[in-house]
Amino acid sequence: MNSGSRLAGLLMSLALGAAWPALAAEPVPEGSSAAPATPSFADVERSRIERERAAEMRRQQQVESTCYQRFAVNDCLLESRVRHREVLGDLKRQEITLNDRERRLRSSEQLRRIEDKVSSPERDIDLLNRQQQGIQKNADAANTAAQKAADVASQARERVERQAEQQRKQQQAAEKAGERASKAAQAPQEARRFRDKQQDAASHRQQVERDAKNSPGPRGKPLPVPAQAGSAAAVSP
């Protein structure tokens, strides 16, 4: 069997494997007996590989029988056995590929069955948990934004209060400075009024003394002179 025939057989098997699901899905006509179970693609491929292997074994036996009838027996046997090993090796590779494909399909089917066994309430609970986590995440973000806004407002209020306190202190300092300036401006007037009072008191005392001298009655004690310490205290600002 040459490589062209093996390729044709493989393509035919693949075509049959692709067509079997559709054929199996067709309804059975009424009145007819139930159709036999459709073999799987792997079963068909294994049957083909076994048929080709058996055919190769028969062919090799025939070739070796022919080689023994020739003059160059060893060369004929060597050439036929090399080709025989190539054919068997190709069939073995196809079998390994088929087994690997079937193993992957079984693993995928087993995983799907495990996933299907998960109860619907558990999936609902998991979905609800994820939704709650999303809601909590949004709430945390909103709380963080609100806290930041409150911090900004508090900082602005503190700045306004500090500015108001600073302005109040500046106003108080200005008022005290104005009071000191007013007192300093009024000090000369107070000193002048004090001197005027002293002069009036001295004039009044002198007048009283003159009147007492000119009076025929007993003379009284002279009026006391105003204290100098009091005048000094009144003059100082």
Find the angle CA(197)-CA(200)-CA(201) to the nearest 5 degrees.
Answer: 85
Task: Give the pLDDT band of residue 60 (cuts 50, 70, 90).
Answer: very high
Q: What is the pLDDT of residues 7-45, one digit of tens each?
A: 545 554 554 444 444 444 444 444 445 455 677 888 898
Q: Look at residue 224 in the predicted model and tell me its pLDDT.
A: 61
How far apart (Å, rounded) are the C-alpha atoms in residues 26 and 21?
9
Task: Give the pLDDT band of residue 225 (cuts 50, 70, 90).
Answer: low
How far apart (Å, rounded) are the C-alpha atoms in residues 229 and 220?
26
Query: Bigger pLDDT: 216 or 235?
Result: 216
Q: Look at residue 214 in the predicted model and tell me its pLDDT.
A: 78
Query: How far is CA 60 from each of CA 5, 17, 66, 89, 153, rounded to the nearest angstrom?
Result: 16, 30, 10, 14, 96
The two three-digit tokens of residue 13, written as one number: 């098997």
Query: Bigger pLDDT: 38 or 60?
Result: 60
Task: Give the pLDDT band of residue 181 (cuts 50, 70, 90).
Answer: confident
Q: Look at the pTM and tell me if it is higher than 0.85.
A: no
Residues near 70 by beta carbon (within 8 Å), at least 6 away in sequence: 76
Q: Look at residue 235 in the predicted model and tell me its pLDDT.
A: 44
